[in-house]
Amino acid sequence: MADVCTQGVDTGFVALGYAKIAFLGVVQGLTELLPVSSTAHMRLVPALLGWQDPGSAFSATMQLAALAAIVSYFWSDVRYVTFGSLDAIRQRDWSSPSIRLAIAIVIATVPIVIAGLLLSSSLNACGTSFRSLWVIGIACVVMGLLLAVAELYSRHRKDIGQMTLMDALFVGITQVGALIPGVSRSGSTLTGALFLGLKREEAARFSFLLGLPAIALAGLKELYELHKAHIPMEAWSVLLVGLIVGSISSFITIWGLMRFLERFSTWPFVIYRIGLGAVILFGVLTMGWA
């Protein structure tokens, strides 16, 4: 699909209109928070339907829909970390579990902030090689295999409260992989948390809480880039439709995933990721997908 640029910003979503963006909002919402890579789906689904690639700016901005869903679903955790940390600071209670969790999230966020700043000029540029189907297909397969190893390796016994700051840093380093399309932010952090021995639902919970700063920073940065590009009002309204639909589907996805992981393993996601990557690579090799 052709790239559409506005002052260097990938704005392919503008040409799709409200109905198609609403549909892609559902796709984005369902896949952003599952360990299956939303970027892979946002490249593959439009290509299969013969639509314009919505572009990296749309994918990055749509993370704000996931942000709204995470805050809503985990509001008790968000409130606990935020207000509990403020109370602990006022009381100088540095052993408070709330402030320890807050510090862990901050430490785990540092690696992706540094990497994102270093790679910002190429990550969301028009025609970037990072969004090539070759990269996405390989990333899907590799992360599927890593998730399989983590599932086999983990004893699934630890809670978030048992994590050390070094554990948090390790998960934060794995989150850097999410900058590569096809890896999946939730997939990389869930995999890292499982390697540390966390229970599946606890690994997902920490993955979502950890994602709040990174998702907010990435989404707001992309909104600023779109503002600088002076996109028309119609483009903003199209984007708003995607955000509203995406936030609703993201909330439903979190609800379903948390209940799924309380009862089952991550093997369905392993199989799906490897299968998706294989389909993408087959299409690139035999059907000329680009």
Please answer whether residues 16 and 24 qualify as being in contact, where contact means their C-beta atoms are separated by less than 8 angstroms.
yes
Residues 191-240: pLDDT tens digits?
Answer: 999 999 999 999 999 999 999 998 888 888 888 888 887 888 888 998 99
Cα 186 from Cα 36, distance rounded (Å): 8
Which of these, 171, 139, 176, 169, lies nearest to 154 by C-alpha position? 171
**d(C-alpha 264, C-alpha 243), whole Å:** 30
The structure's pTM equals 0.85
Q: Which of 159, 140, 127 is nearest to 38 (CA)?
A: 140
125 forms beta bridges with 9
| 135-149: pLDDT as tens digits | 999 999 999 999 999
In sign, the C-alpha dihedral spanning 245, 246, 247, 249 is: positive
Contacts of 144 (CB under 8 A, 6+ apart): 269, 270, 271, 272, 273, 274, 277
Beta-carbon neighbour count of residue 86 at 10 Å? Answer: 13
pLDDT tens digits in sequence order for the chain, 290 residues long: 445 665 556 667 878 889 999 999 999 989 988 999 888 898 889 888 888 888 777 888 888 999 999 999 999 999 999 999 999 998 888 888 999 999 999 999 999 999 988 887 666 566 566 678 899 999 999 999 999 999 998 888 899 989 999 999 999 999 999 888 889 999 999 999 999 999 999 999 999 999 999 888 888 888 888 888 788 888 899 899 999 999 999 999 999 999 999 999 999 999 999 999 999 999 989 987 76
CB 270 within 8 A of CB 34: no
**Number of neighbouring beta carbons within 10 Å of residue 284:** 17
Task: Return the pLDDT at 128.
Answer: 63
Per-residue confidence (pLDDT) for residue 174, from 0 to 100: 96
